[in-house]
Structure 1
Amino acid sequence: MNILTEILLQAERTPNAAAIVQFGRGSGCSFDEEILCSYRTLVEQAQGLCTRILRRVAADAQVGVVMGNSAEWVLADLALMLAGCTQVPVPLAFSAPQAGWLLQNCAVVLTDASGAMRLQEWLETGLDLPRNTMHVVFGHYQQQSAAAPTSRAALSGPDRIVKVVHTSGTTFRPKGVRIRRDGLDALVSALWQRASKDDYRRYLSLVPFSLLIEQVTAIYLPLTSGGALLLPPADMLPLGSPGVIAADRLEIIRAARASALTLTPALVEALAAQAIRLAGRADALHALFGRPTAPLLAAGGAPVANQTLTTLDQLGIPVYQGYGLSENSSVATWNHRGANRIGTVGQPLPHVEVRVADDGELCLRSTSLFAGYSNDDPSSCIVDDDGWLHTGDLATRDSEGFVTITGRKKTLIITANGRNVSPEWLESAYRSVPGVLHVIVYGDDRQFLGGIFVVADRSRADEIRLAIADYARRHLSEIEHIHTPLLIEHSPDVMAQLFTVTGRPRRDAIAPFLSLQKDPSVHEHP
């Protein structure tokens, strides 16, 4: 299948069906629901924006997308597909240097309201960012021609790069993963062999669109099946944003009556806690999801405790864990109806081959593999001469093909919100704060990063904490902020506990060390 072709055909089959639904805040704790656009309107607007873009850039240009989770993002995504441009999505949480690194080769930058504000903040730091911007407003574009020649040309031809998406590296510069059109098509086609068309009739998006997996599940799966994308109120930030607590999204989940959504591990935990409180009630599922049956719930990005998944399953709320990485255009393995084995990340998708190397490393080979990186980084995955992607993750595979992730060869942190953070360069960055001698960053399975800061003089704790916060605000993305650093006075005993003789962090010592601390910084805070 071709994603763009399917969306255009869907607009012909059901032109008046709802494509995007926007929620707003009503009275009290209620939410209002409004159909923002039909399929016909969405395609006409995308064709109009496509024509505007091609007046300013060449068809093969890189185009930055600096936007929040808005209808404008969906419009820009489709317009860039039609135009034949390469989309470079930039998370709003990125720092100015990180954004500048991603945008340096972009001919134009598309923004929505929140993106324009963030871009201005980056520019005010003095960073040299592309000044050629186009502010996108849904409803401002008309279909330019019935035939739409530019869009038809984009449907065929040789494979090309459609996106350059970010993923964590070992420096402040994110790696750019080059995503192929045919690879993305192969992935979506494979996912449809694991789901039914009705699953994505109403998809609620709670995860940032800047993540490739959310572009796939929130935009491409609903719009290739006649479904609708449900957007939370504009002031409701996506999961993983600073200060956002997963449990606070349970209200919109109930109000949205969604047929599908992707959960972060933190949201799975919050949902389980609420389900336990409602256990025994005849209307428990309705109280959770606003409907008599549970929606299709997918989870990934970081592991969820087996007991949590078992509890939910026993309450009639199966959660289907999966595994993927940007280098495979996102999903590689996924549990699904009829083949859900708790504790695993499922079987490979139909287009994916899997093998476990002698050292336990998980290797993938598929038709959705990426076309390489836009910049080199020591943490880059390797594709060998036989086409196998070496993921850096350790895994086992049982006789029925279910894959279990057992660890990582590398030290990449995966938070409970599914965000990837490389600790080494971040620790190096925080060590530049005056008064800080050594740093260990941690955050696996937590909503927010934590950090142990070894300092020369703990009597200056308040001053050092302010300096840490100021440094993070000026130099780091919001995801990389450590809001409640744990400050420890330097001593030989501390150094022996937490560091090797060469100064490398003993990461296996973090949990035992934290368990002995009474400092409230050990506990999570937004």
Structure 2
Amino acid sequence: MEKLFTALESRARNYPEKKALISSDGNTQTILSNQELLDNITSTAAFLEKETVKCIGLFLDNSSQWIICDLAAAKLGITLVPIPMFFTKSQVGHLVTSAGVEAIITLSLMKNILQSNQLLKLDNTETILPLENTLMLRIVTKEFTDKKHDLANSIKITYTSGSTGEPKGVCLSAQNIGAVCEGIETSMKLMPSCNHLCVLPLATLLENVAGVYVCLMHGGVVITEPLAALGFMSNAEFDISKLLAKIDFYQVGSIIILPQMLTLLVNSFDEIELKQHSIKQSISKQYPRKQCSNLQFIAVGGGKSSKQVIKQANSLGLPVFEGYGLSECGSVVSLNLPQQQKIGSVGKPLPHVCVVISEDGEIIIEGQTMLGYLGELEQTLPRIYTGDLGYIDEDGYIFVSGRKNNKIISSFGRNISPEWVEASLSSAPVIAQIAVFGEARPSLSAVVFSTCQDTVQIEAAIKECNEFLPDYAQVQQWILAEQPFTPNNNLLTHNGRLKRLNIAKLYQEKLDDIYT
């Protein structure tokens, strides 16, 4: 990450008064110049060094404090563990324990959330950081982490959304993250610098690296707002009108969004266009662009996007570019760009990686991989087997065609193991069998077989089980199976496993209907 800090120092030296960071807490707006950002990073790094912490957690909404603390830790080589705000209490407890987090940085208004988590043993004392409304809570533990070897070279440990409820920590070095930043920045060197609005949670590696780091390296201005102000109502609900308002207000040049957000964005612009049509009796392709006229680059990732939606976005004048990546590779692996784009693909590999396809069609990443999963760093990983199926065409573009295993990736970018959800809902007496679906959908659906035909009882049982799952893993819609899943009807294997493709095919029409 040396080039990032070199860029920050160069910005402060050559353009000390120019804007670097704009942040709002919902009430007041803070603007930091290049020099002020560097000064804040330096003073926060001095604070962390004095506190002699080796591994810290970061539990904050999108804010200037998040970015400053993150960069201060990186400057010192301290292991930083972002704590996603959508994690359940048990997932937060697992994260803190597994990583050996010594202290958590949070805002004064958010400390009660952590203190109410009985899985966290917090010290009663609070240490105030040299940042507004920011404090550090120490973790009381009998012994500090036994993962010293893992933390030695890990500048960041990022946790997945928890496909089985117990997220795994991906250990990344400064070299890992730096290579990704340089790969993206090099590919975008022909594009002018601009205002970048952080739409995704900063705890998401994609926003953290491709959003904040690359924007600062490229000479742009980073903008943060609380997630609720941007439209996040839950992990499965998003108010696109709020995001559009912020894009207009800040004259935003670039954003990173998820496939479901793109669909909402396109639908929103379609509504605008229809209204214009009713007034003028002619469709104006230029009208929507007046609302987001400064947008130069809309990156979409975190899951597979519909080819049709991207085509529709482009027809509306929206500069949408699909990419591909995973935490195990430090985030972005490939990306479509203005000068090289093929709709339906996820772009060409960035300069820092090599992508190959195995004999069985699995996408494999070489050349830039994580240090390993937390607790599993005994040997280096020369390649990452992604579990995604795909191919590379004659022009070098990567196409993702599906998943090798059963893991579901929602249109909000959440990784979900259907077996985890099925096991939880099967605990209800009225649910005899259940098959969960939701690939590239905003929420999960299920096909349920029950000997009880009272749909009210079944609905109540599903709602009760949902309370023990994160909102992104809850079943929101369901249909009744006409018959049990058995080997005889080819919906179950002889050893009792669901034949998901056969179930999905049998009930495809009904499953599609519940999303319309």
Question: TM-score, normalised on structure 1?
Answer: 0.82
Q: Are the aligned partners of 2:252 and 2:295 in contact in 1 as well (CA < 8 Å)?
A: no
Give the CA deviation at 1:77.
0.6
Q: Among residues 189, 209, 212, which one is paired with 1:219 in the alignment?
A: 212
Q: Which letter maps to 2:95?
A: L
Give the CA deviation at 1:509.
3.6
Counterpart check, 1:359 vs 2:374: no
Evaluate the alpha carbon distance shift between residue 115 and residue 358 of structure 1 in structure 2; reply closer, same or farther with a 3 A threshold.
Answer: farther
Deviations 1:125-167 (A, max 9, x none): x3244547656673479xxxxxxxxxxxxxxxx9931111112
Residue equivalent to 1:457:
452
Give the CA deviation at 1:404.
0.5
Structure 1 range deviating more: 212-221 or 315-324: 315-324
Residue equivalent to 2:304:
303
Evaluate the alpha carbon distance shift between residue 454 and residue 111 of structure 1 in structure 2; reply closer, same or farther with a 3 A threshold.
Answer: farther
Counterpart check, 1:436 vs 2:436: no
Give the CA deviation at 1:217.
2.5
Equivalent positions of 1:219-258 (< 5 A) are: 219-232=212-225, 235-236=228-229, 239=232, 241-242=234-235, 244-245=237-238, 247-248=240-241, 249-258=243-252
Residue equivalent to 1:284:
287
Q: Which letter maps to 1:481?
A: Q
| SS in structure 1 of the partner of residue 266 of structure 2 | helix
Q: Among residues 261, 267, 292, which one is paired with 2:255 in the alignment?
A: 261
Structure 1 range deviating more: 132-141 or 208-217: 132-141
Q: Among residues 34, 38, 41, which one is paired with 2:36 in the alignment?
A: 41
Q: Are the aligned partners of 1:161 and 1:179 in contact in 2 as well (CA < 8 Å)?
A: yes
| SS in structure 1 of the partner of residue 229 of structure 2 | coil
Q: How many residues align?
A: 484
Structure 1 range deviating more: 126-135 or 76-85: 126-135
Residue equivalent to 1:272:
266
Give the CA deviation at 1:240.
8.1
Residue equivalent to 2:10:
9
Residue equivalent to 2:71:
78
Q: Which letter maps to 1:228?
A: V
Q: Which letter maps to 1:284?
A: Y
Q: Are the aligned partners of 1:16 and 1:40 in contact in 2 as well (CA < 8 Å)?
A: yes
Equivalent positions of 1:314-463 (< 5 A) are: 314-366=315-367, 368-375=368-375, 387-459=382-454, 461-463=455-457
Evaluate the alpha carbon distance shift between residue 493 and residue 110 of structure 1 in structure 2; reply closer, same or farther with a 3 A threshold.
Answer: closer
Q: Are the aligned partners of 1:18 and 1:35 in contact in 2 as well (CA < 8 Å)?
A: no
Equivalent positions of 1:98-117 (< 5 A) are: 98-104=91-97, 105-113=100-108, 115-117=110-112
Give the CA deviation at 1:507.
2.1
Deviations 1:251-271 (A, max 9, x none): 333333211111211122222
Deviations 1:41-89 (A, max 9, x none): 222222222222233334xx11111111122211211121123211111
Cα separation, 1, equivalents of 2:16 and 2:107: 25
Q: Among residues 475, 498, 502, which one is paired with 1:505 in the alignment?
A: 498
Residue equivalent to 1:190:
183
Q: Are the aligned partners of 2:44 and 2:130 in contact in 1 as well (CA < 8 Å)?
A: no
Give the CA deviation at 1:347.
0.7
| SS in structure 2 of the partner of residue 301 of structure 1 | coil
Q: Which letter maps to 2:497?
A: R
Evaluate the alpha carbon distance shift between residue 2 and residue 286 of structure 1 in structure 2; reply closer, same or farther with a 3 A threshold.
Answer: same
Evaluate the alpha carbon distance shift between residue 237 and residue 288 of structure 1 in structure 2; reply closer, same or farther with a 3 A threshold.
Answer: closer
Deviations 1:376-425 (A, max 9, x none): 6xxx9x976xx222211111111221110111111121111222222222
Counterpart check, 1:51 vs 2:52: no
Give the CA deviation at 1:432.
2.6
Identity of aligned residues (%): 25
Give the CA deviation at 1:200.
4.4
- Provide structure 1 residue ranges, at least 5 long, that are not aligned to the other structure: 26-31, 142-157
Cα separation, 1, equivalents of 2:490 and 2:257: 36
Evaluate the alpha carbon distance shift between residue 348 and residue 410 of structure 1 in structure 2; reply closer, same or farther with a 3 A threshold.
Answer: same
Q: Which letter maps to 1:186?
A: A
Q: Which letter maps to 2:262?
A: V
- Provide structure 2 residue ranges, at least 5 long, that are not aligned to the other structure: 135-150, 274-282
Structure 1 range deviating more: 227-236 or 95-104: 227-236
Cα separation, 1, equivalents of 2:333 and 2:512: 40
Calculate the aligned-residue CA RMSD, in Å.
3.2
Q: Which letter maps to 1:295?
A: Q
Deviations 1:448-496 (A, max 9, x none): 222334344242x4455445434433x43232222x3426378436894
Cα separation, 1, equivalents of 2:421 and 2:129: 34
